[in-house]
Amino acid sequence: MLTRSGNVTAPRGRAALALALVLAVVGAAACGASDGQVAVVDTSVTPVIVTSVPDTVVAVAPEAVESVEPVEGITTVDRPAIATTEAERVDVPLRVDWIGGSDVALNEVSLPDAFLQHRSDVDGRPLDLRARTQIGALAPDVEAMIRAAVADRVEALIVSFNPVWLHFLEGSCDALTVPRDRYRCLLTPQSAEITAERQAEIDSLMRAIVLADVPVYLYMQPHSADVMADPAVGQLITDAEQRLAALDPGLPTIIVRARNITRDAGPAREGTEFHDMVHLTPAGATVLSTWLAADVGAFWDRLGFAR
């Protein structure tokens, strides 16, 4: 269950298989929970990772970490990003959950927090914008988070789509140690059977999005300009964009932004705007949130949320 005691917990959903996307990130502010428990990150103390085995805690040193394999049973959480305005005393805040993996919020970088620097209210209602995230979330995990958010009575959703969902097969890229080679492998079809299984999961996710009965902004997970310019990976990302575009249900309350927003938002280089291929720096969060606040904001303004 989502709590509001300074942090937001993401529901675990099914067993997290992780997506091998934490490639070169500074530190790790993640926590998990044993069965039947909810874990919350306290940002005032040393970050820890709690494994899926009860009573097992591993401290994480604040140093560069390169993880290229899925880490089972780890869930990340983020504190609420709440805009406080004069209107909050008289208007009901607009509750929005931003759902995805570590590309949404990780350590010192939070797209929801950066977003609120550009857009803090809709129709005079202050935004109560929260990150509901899980490291290595696959499509079924995101579907579970969407269902939990709807149960918590959110009024809108922002959802990040990870292209790895299209072909992921655990262990299929074990032999590759170079992060970009491994990522290329994860984006490559493994077999017709696996692709069909993943497509069924994604179809189920899209049904959950439609049935949520709230406005949904679904967008392709951002990638660095460097990886998109790599011939071996760039075409696979383009293929994933086309697959996402084909999922658009054509409803006025659902926006599908299949085109990678880093193609249009501004600088997106590794070492400045990106830590690695998919994880943003604070500077990158500023660049992308500026573009997203305008695009998502226009979508919300068209629909209207006045009380």
Largest distance between two CA atoms of the chain:
58
Given this model, what pLDDT does residue 81 score?
A: 52
pLDDT score at 307: 67
Which CA distances in Å does 108 have to 63, 160, 213, 267? 13, 19, 32, 20
Which pLDDT does position 54 carry in this prediction? Answer: 31
- Return d(Cα 106, Cα 103) in angstroms, integer: 7
pTM of the model: 0.74
> Which domains, and CATH codes, for the chain?
75-303 (3.40.50.1110)
Q: Is the distance from CB of 290 to CB of 118 less than 8 angstroms?
A: yes
pLDDT in tens, the chain (307 residues): 332 323 343 333 333 334 334 333 333 333 333 333 333 333 333 333 222 233 333 333 333 334 333 334 434 444 455 444 444 444 689 999 999 999 999 988 999 999 999 999 999 999 999 999 999 999 999 999 999 999 999 999 999 999 999 999 989 998 999 999 999 999 999 999 999 999 999 999 999 999 999 999 999 999 999 999 999 899 999 999 999 999 999 999 999 999 999 999 989 999 999 999 999 999 999 999 999 999 999 999 999 987 6
Nearest to 141 by CA among 243, 20, 19: 19
